[in-house]
């Protein structure tokens, strides 16, 4: 419920978990624009993106609206034991749009990229807000492209 309240009222602290579920702020997290490493932008297929789920590779990448973000700094949320770990290495767009963190909101890596054409105006607005959040907080590393 606090997630919806924070999204509707805009009262959530931008540097914290956007769901409002976390009571602690990650003191090591840095905004995307202050990241000290250089990034080589590239395309990621859903299969390639799945390698960046924090398990075998410590990096955590998440796609939102076709853009791929390095969410490694949000490991506490998206990492293997985090509450939103099902989004790690995947396209999280539908789940974010529908404010659902259920596993069925994430497509299998062998499926086509979700075109999101069935989302309502309100769901697209929610997704746009999430996209803005990811753009502010995490480093853009590339775009999501169809499997080869």
| CA atoms of 60 and 76, how far apart (whole Å) | 11
Question: What share of the chain has pLDDT > 90, as a percent?
Answer: 74
Q: How far is CA 126 from the centre of its chain?
A: 13
Local structure of 143: helix, strand or coil: strand
pLDDT tens across 109-133, in order? Answer: 999 999 999 999 999 999 999 999 9
Closest CA to 126 of 18, 11, 14: 18
6-53 per-position pLDDT tens digit: 444 454 544 445 554 444 334 333 445 444 568 899 999 999 999 999
Q: Say if residues 112 and 45 touch (Cβ distance below 8 Å).
A: no
Q: Which domains does the chain show, CATH number per domain?
A: 39-144 (3.10.120.10)
């Amino acid at each position: 419920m606090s997630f919806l309240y924070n999204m509707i009222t805009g009262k959530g602290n931008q540097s914290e978990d956007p769901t409002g579920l976390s009571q602690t702020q990650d003191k090591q997290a840095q905004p995307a624009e202050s990241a000290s490493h250089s990034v080589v932008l590239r395309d990621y297929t859903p299969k390639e993106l799945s390698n960046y789920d924090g398990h075998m590779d410590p990096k955590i990448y998440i796609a939102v609206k076709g853009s791929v973000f390095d969410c490694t700094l949000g490991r506490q949320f998206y990492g293997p034991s985090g509450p939103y770990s099902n989004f790690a290495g995947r396209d999280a767009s539908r789940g974010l749009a529908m404010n659902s963190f259920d596993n069925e909101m994430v497509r299998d890596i062998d499926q086509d990229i979700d075109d999101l054409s069935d989302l309502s105006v309100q769901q697209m607005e929610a997704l746009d807000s999430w996209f803005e959040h990811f753009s502010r907080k995490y480093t853009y590393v590339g775009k999501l492209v169809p499997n080869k």
